[in-house]
Chain A
Amino acid sequence: MNYLLHILIMIGIYLILTQSLNILMGYTGLLSVCHAAFYGIGAYATTLLMMKFGINFFIAVFISIIISVVLSYIVSIPSLKLKGDYFVLSTIGFQSIIFSILYNWVSFTRGPYGIPGIPSPSIFGFTFADPSSYLILVLFFVIPVIIFTHLITSSQFGRVLKSIREDELAASSLGKDVYRFKLTAFAISAGIAAISGGLYACYLTYIDPTSFTISESLFLITIIAIGGSGNLKGPVVGSIVVIILPEILRFLNIPDTIAPNIRMMIYALALIIFMIYKPKGIAGEYGFE
């Protein structure tokens, strides 16, 4: 039972991450390889706010969303002025720089040693310590995120994002300030990603920079690639598939030393195969075509 709860919690956390990436990739058509950086910023900001300043989890998450959004503008304002390939490179750069900071600024983040003993979220005297209550906490965030994403994407704002994805030049000839829309989409996706970070940190009660590497960013892209993008179903399908997969591996009794490698190889292979044969993913509406 605990095992099932664990799976559901992880699916929930990844759902939030991938829905936010979907707004950027699936709806606006921007490839970002730094989503894990915002995930990490959310995790570390929430953790440090809770542990160094004794701030309540919910407020800490809220503040970390703001921090994530502000930092997103630092990378998006300059780099969204550049052509496609170059924007992607900037996101790779940002990802690398954030990881470097998390890993090397030991006095602030404890670097590779990580931060253990992260307290469980609590509110009005109730603590979300055991798996079943944590799942409820996760749902408490997942549901609004999905509603929020739906509101955004089904609105006139979302329609403009899609038009930018389809043909940026045509969109600008219709009077849309493409640059501004992209900045906003990027900020929204960064802010939501931070929520997952906070949830992840308090669930595992331990974080270190190795959870927020470029591989993680690519893993998120893999989920979108497999599940599909451009609609709300895609990330759901992708998250489920991709979280269940390693559990299946576990049943095959693969030794722990090589299990992570095998897992990454399966994801990588899936990524390649999907890019070639099914750029729309399993349930997506828009693909890399």
Chain B
Amino acid sequence: MNTIVELKNLTKSFGGVKAVDNVSMDFEKYRITALIGPNGAGKTTIFNIINGFIKPDKGQILFEGKDITGLPPHKITKKGIGRLFQDIRIFNKLTVLENVLVAIEGQSGENFSNAIFHRKKMIKEEKENIEKAKELLDFVKLSDKKDIFAENLSYGQQKLLSIARILAQDSKVLLLDEPTAGVNPVLIDSIIEVIKKLPQKEKTIILIEHNINVVLEISDWVFLLDEGKVASFGLPDEVLSDPVTREVYLGV
């Protein structure tokens, strides 16, 4: 397996409860790997650890073979790992277009002295970035809404916006936390279409999903998590038809 992200013996406790218990996982490059499991199994915690929001008590995270454990979130993002939040977290009082623009990397004007003294360069970049952002908004079908405040979008549209935002980041690895949750079925299809195309664009997807149909349709690999441990791993059909999975979900 061509591994791009590797988790080694990760452990994290919160007040005596092991949210993540000696978890080791390999994620294959340019593939879509799903994490499934009941609530509280540790999936989002794992995402938070990979992202840098939480430091593990023990263990390591390797990205492209290099140790990124303990780095702050913004540095991990710069290395190429992007994050989609379960609770969306778009920028409410920025326009839809601005939400996508702010995600684009390498903007010279983000340095304050450049914003004053090297304005021409910034304006040129801005023109290019606006084109890129518009393309992404086309991709998620939000172009007609580009100038309204993000807070005025519907929930599903905000989800799409957050997807456009993560695509703007040009990350190599995308951590998608429940991308279809709370979205109406028509929109789910749009979202699935978008995600399916990503490996072709040289992106690796790690996905937390509760919707089994989505998992079956788009994932290459599935990890089943239960109570902070990896309960099983394999191809989507295998894992999902495995009796162990049913036990874990139904607590039988």
Direct contact of A and B (CB under 8 A): yes
A173 close to chain B: CB less than 8 A: yes
With A184-B112, A188-B112 known to touch, is A159 a contact of B85 (CB < 8 Å)? Answer: no
Q: Which of B19-27, B56-64, B92-100 lies at the binding interface?
A: B92-100
A157 close to chain B: CB less than 8 A: yes
In the bound complex, residues from chain B placing their C-beta under 8 Å from that of A167 are 89-92
Q: Which of B114-122, B187-195, B211-219 lies at the binding interface?
A: B114-122
A152 to B, closest residue via Cβ: B115
Q: Roughly how many angstroms separate A148 CA and B115 CA in the complex, as a whole number?
A: 10
Tell me the residues in window 128-182 of chain A with beta carbons closer than 8 Å to chain B beta carbons. 148, 151-152, 155-160, 162-163, 165-167, 169-178
With A152-B116, A162-B94, A188-B112 known to touch, is A175 a contact of B169 (CB < 8 Å)? Answer: yes
A42 close to chain B: CB less than 8 A: no
A159 touches B77 (CB 8 A): no
Q: Can you show 15 pairs from A to B with CB atoms below 8 A apart?
A: A151-B115, A160-B102, A160-B110, A163-B91, A163-B94, A165-B93, A169-B53, A169-B89, A172-B74, A173-B89, A174-B102, A175-B105, A177-B74, A178-B74, A230-B93
Q: Roughly how many angstroms separate A159 CA and B95 CA in the complex, as a whole number?
A: 11
A285 to B, closest residue via Cβ: B93
B34 close to chain A: CB less than 8 A: no
Q: Which of A156, A173, A188 is in CB contact (< 8 Å) with B110?
A: A156
Q: Which of A163, A177, A286 is in CB contact (< 8 Å) with B102?
A: A163
With A169-B53, A174-B169, A178-B74 known to touch, is A156 a contact of B91 (CB < 8 Å)? Answer: no
Q: Roughly how many angstroms separate A277 CA and B42 CA in the complex, as a whole number?
A: 42
In the bound complex, residues from chain A placing their C-beta under 8 Å from that of B83 are 173
Q: Roughly how many angstroms separate A163 CA and B165 CA in the complex, as a whole number?
A: 13
CB distance from B119 to the nearest CB of A (A): 7
Size of the B side of the interface (Cβ < 8 Å), in residues, is 36
CB distance from A162 to the nearest CB of B (A): 6
CB distance from A50 to the nearest CB of B (A): 28
A157 touches B91 (CB 8 A): no
Q: Roughly how many angstroms separate A286 CA and B91 CA in the complex, as a whole number?
A: 12
Tell me the residues in window 22-36 of chain A with beta carbons closer than 8 Å to chain B beta carbons. none
In the bound complex, residues from chain B placing their C-beta under 8 Å from that of A171 are 91, 102
B248 close to chain A: CB less than 8 A: no
B51 to A, closest residue via Cβ: A173
CB distance from B139 to the nearest CB of A (A): 18
Interface of A is mostly: helix
CB distance from B176 to the nearest CB of A (A): 13
Interface residues on A, range: 20 to 34
B102 touches A151 (CB 8 A): no
B184 close to chain A: CB less than 8 A: no
Tell me the residues in window 199-216 of chain A with beta carbons closer than 8 Å to chain B beta carbons. none
In the bound complex, residues from chain A placing their C-beta under 8 Å from that of B103 are 174
Q: Roughly how many angstroms separate A217 CA and B115 CA in the complex, as a whole number?
A: 29
Tell me the residues in window 89-148 of chain B with beta carbons closer than 8 Å to chain A beta carbons. 89-94, 98, 101-103, 105, 107-112, 114-116, 119, 122, 125-126
Extra contacts, 6 of them, besides A166-B91, A176-B110 (Cβ < 8 A), are A152-B116, A165-B93, A166-B94, A170-B85, A170-B91, A173-B82
Q: Roughly how many angstroms separate A262 CA and B127 CA in the complex, as a whole number?
A: 53
In the bound complex, residues from chain A placing their C-beta under 8 Å from that of B89 are 167, 169-170, 173
B73 close to chain A: CB less than 8 A: yes
In the bound complex, residues from chain A placing their C-beta under 8 Å from that of B111 are 157
Q: Which of B78, B94, B115, B165 is in CB contact (< 8 Å) with A156?
A: B115
Tell me the residues in window 24-81 of chain B with beta carbons closer than 8 Å to chain A beta carbons. 51, 53, 72-74, 77-78
B74 touches A162 (CB 8 A): no
B74 touches A159 (CB 8 A): no
Tell me the residues in window 156-213 of chain B with beta carbons closer than 8 Å to chain A beta carbons. 165, 169
B72 to A, closest residue via Cβ: A172
In the bound complex, residues from chain A placing their C-beta under 8 Å from that of B72 are 172
In the bound complex, residues from chain B placing their C-beta under 8 Å from that of A230 are 93
In the bound complex, residues from chain B placing their C-beta under 8 Å from that of A286 are 93
CB distance from B99 to the nearest CB of A (A): 8
CB distance from B134 to the nearest CB of A (A): 16
With A155-B109, A157-B110, A172-B73 known to touch, is A162 a contact of B93 (CB < 8 Å)? Answer: yes
With A159-B98, A166-B93 known to touch, is A152 a contact of B74 (CB < 8 Å)? Answer: no
CB distance from A39 to the nearest CB of B (A): 22
In the bound complex, residues from chain B placing their C-beta under 8 Å from that of A178 are 74
CB distance from A283 to the nearest CB of B (A): 15
B103 to A, closest residue via Cβ: A174
CB distance from A26 to the nearest CB of B (A): 11
